[in-house]
């Protein structure tokens, strides 16, 4: 399939609403419009902003963070960078709080979510603070709730609240610990979102771990607690494991819903939507029998906002490069230089400029990447290599812990087709990898003067009876293979590389294109005429 469409066109939808790696989602409603943001780690532009009218059909409308504001992100820092953000709307401004576990907590703002966001301001500088969420109380006082990352600060499962300045740019009080999951059965509680209803303060926070956890809600009459808690959604007999971390949103007619993610391994963390109802001032999320206080995820239900079914869409994937701007489906592997890509609407193509090669292709900052948009799909791309200079290598790439590429090396007047593969290893937060390179064809263009290769990148589900029992429930582990093939005529394709797909460091597998210069000199460019999902 080209893309995953959740809207069934008959007034119902099927979860997930986004079969793509929009991890740690948070969302709000402003009037009749819904906005969502998500983690982006070391990929840029970062902090995607998505828009919907019905909570089911979503489009990316902007990114709040063009590049990450630290020098070290010129190179990929796998698993670091922008973690779980939150989005709010106050006094005519959209506000995103986002954490960087090695640098601190930051805020960016805008009046137009489709436009430019402000330069990030550090609310807190230091290691280990994560998952911030702002809140403005009825008396105008501002607060922030956050969690902690044990890998950076030495402890976890703790939630704190601190008072903020009225403009949400600095802390004015010391953090107060309001909940400690180490003292009860809520280990690894994190991702808190702070709300108020009927005089109660609520903290929605997942616990138990990403793949095998559950959704917890805390409540108190005092913002600093003490808080009581309940588990309000868990897997039960569904296949939706670890219903984890998200957002409470309501519709214009007063219905309540909850967005959360599910970790499906290679494809990353995909987004689901559940009904939510209130019983005795406690939320119950998903499907629950009368009297039950904890629900379970549901796959199919009525749409929150009725539409005529004629406008069904998903985030863009295919690109014929018919605009003079880079499509919002694309991200780079690290902080990027705007001169790395030149889209040409006049020529209906994009040119990617060569950058000096890193030791591993997985650490190449100028990988031009997309999220997987569906459980299975095939990409076909047409790439021309006439613009390569000596030492340039370019082609298609699969980026995950298991990575691979099929590309053309131009050296000493010859074009050589090569396959590259490797696997990232991690020591604490540092990634290490080394490319294994094999030659497929030594003289690729003997009979092809156009110097064009048609590539195919195919993702297929393979049978698997493997399950995960790390936790209270058992759930299936999906398996996918990635096959990269090539053709000189666009009709007959030869397989070049097959990999077992493995997610990246906290991110799903991405696919795309690359160009690097193996001689460490100024290189040329590749030209891509289309990158189409089928």
DSSP conformational letter for 119: P
State the DSSP H helix or E strand holding residue 153, giving kind and residue range, or none if neither.
helix 150-153
The span from the CA of 84 to the CA of 23, in Å, is 8
Peptide bond into 260 cis (omega under 30): no
Contact 134, 82 (CB under 8 A): no
Helix and strand numbers (H, E) in the chain are 1, 41
Establish whether 363 is a catalytic residue: no
Enter the tokens of residue 525: 């460019």
The span from the CA of 256 to the CA of 251, in Å, is 7
Dihedral sign from CA coordinates of 73, 76, 81, 87: positive
Contact 294, 234 (CB under 8 A): yes
Please tell me the number of Cα atoms within 13 Å of 13 on its side-chain side: 29
Dihedral sign from CA coordinates of 339, 340, 344, 347: positive
Q: What angle do CA 48, 50, 54 make, to 5 degrees?
A: 160
Active site residue: 7, 24, 392, 456, which one? 24
Instruction: Residue 507: count other Cβ atoms within 10 Å of its Cβ.
Output: 24
In the block, residue with structure tokens 């504001």: 69
Active site residue: 7, 26, 103, 190, which one? 190
The span from the CA of 314 to the CA of 67, in Å, is 25
The span from the CA of 216 to the CA of 128, in Å, is 22
In the block, residue with structure tokens 């290189």: 523
The span from the CA of 417 to the CA of 377, in Å, is 24
Contact 298, 306 (CB under 8 A): no
Instruction: Print the SS3 string covering 330-396.
Output: CEECCCCCHHHEEEECCCCEEEEECEECCCCHHHCCCCEEEECCCCCEEEEEEEECCCCCCCEEEEE
Cα 98 off chain centre by: 14
CA end-to-end distance (rounded Å), the chain: 5
Beta strands 414-423; 402-411: pairing state: antiparallel
Contact 243, 297 (CB under 8 A): yes
Establish whether 190 is a catalytic residue: yes
Q: Which of 217, 245, 214 has the alpha carbon at shortest distance from 229? A: 217
Catalytic positions are 24, 190
């Amino acid at each position: 399939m080209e893309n995953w469409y959740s809207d069934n066109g008959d007034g119902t939808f099927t979860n997930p609403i986004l079969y793509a790696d929009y991890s740690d989602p948070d969302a709000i409603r402003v009037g009749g419009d819904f906005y969502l943001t998500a983690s982006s780690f070391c990929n840029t532009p970062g902090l995607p902003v998505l828009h919907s009218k019905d909570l089911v059909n979503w489009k990316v409308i902007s990114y709040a963070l063009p590049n990450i504001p630290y020098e070290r992100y010129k190179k990929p820092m796998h698993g670091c960078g922008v973690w779980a953000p939150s989005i709010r709307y106050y006094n005519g401004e959209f506000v995103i709080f986002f954490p960087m576990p090695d640098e601190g907590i930051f805020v960016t703002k805008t009046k137009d979510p489709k436009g430019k966001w402000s330069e990030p301001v550090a609310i807190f500088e230091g290691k280990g603070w994560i998952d911030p969420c702002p809140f403005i109380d009825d008396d105008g006082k501002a607060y922030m709730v956050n969690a902690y990352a044990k890998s950076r600060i030495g402890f976890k499962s703790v939630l704190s609240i601190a008072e903020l300045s009225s403009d949400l740019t600095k802390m004015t009080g010391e953090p107060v610990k309001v909940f400690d999951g180490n003292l009860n059965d809520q280990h690894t509680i994190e991702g808190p979102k702070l709300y108020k209803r009927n005089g109660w303060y609520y903290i929605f926070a997942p616990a138990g771990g990403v793949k095998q956890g559950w959704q917890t809600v805390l409540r108190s009459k005092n913002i600093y607690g003490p808080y009581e808690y309940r588990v309000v959604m868990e897997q039960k007999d569904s296949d939706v494991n670890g219903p984890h971390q998200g957002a409470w949103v309501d519709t214009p007619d007063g219905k309540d819903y909850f967005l959360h993610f599910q970790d499906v391994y290679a494809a990353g963390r995909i987004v689901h939507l559940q009904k939510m109802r209130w019983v005795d001032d406690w939320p119950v999320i998903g499907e629950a029998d009368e009297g039950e206080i904890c629900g379970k995820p549901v796959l199919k239900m009525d749409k929150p906002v009725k539409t005529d079914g004629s406008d069904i869409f998903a985030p863009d994937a295919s690109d014929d490069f018919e605009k003079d701007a880079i499509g919002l489906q694309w991200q780079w592997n690290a902080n990027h230089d705007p001169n790395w890509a030149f889209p040409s609407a006049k020529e209906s193509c994009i040119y990617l400029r060569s950058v000096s090669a890193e030791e591993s292709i997985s650490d190449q900052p100028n990988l031009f990447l997309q999220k997987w948009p569906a459980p299975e799909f095939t990409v076909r791309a047409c790439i021309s290599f006439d613009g390569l200079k000596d030492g340039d290598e370019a082609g298609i790439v699969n980026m995950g812990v298991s990575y691979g590429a099929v590309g053309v090396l131009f050296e000493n007047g010859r074009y050589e087709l090569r396959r590259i593969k490797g696997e990232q290893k991690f020591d604490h937060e540092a990634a290490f990898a080394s490319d294994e390179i094999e030659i497929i064809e030594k003289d690729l263009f003997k009979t092809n003067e156009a110097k064009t290769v048609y590539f195919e990148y195919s993702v297929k589900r393979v049978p698997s009876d493997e399950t995960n029992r790390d936790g209270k429930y058992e759930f299936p582990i999906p398996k996918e293979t990635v096959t990269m093939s090539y053709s000189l005529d666009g009709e007959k394709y030869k397989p070049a590389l097959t990999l077992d797909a493995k997610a990246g460091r906290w991110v799903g597998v991405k696919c795309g294109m690359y160009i690097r210069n193996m001689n460490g000199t100024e290189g040329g460019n590749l030209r891509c005429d289309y990158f189409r999902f089928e």
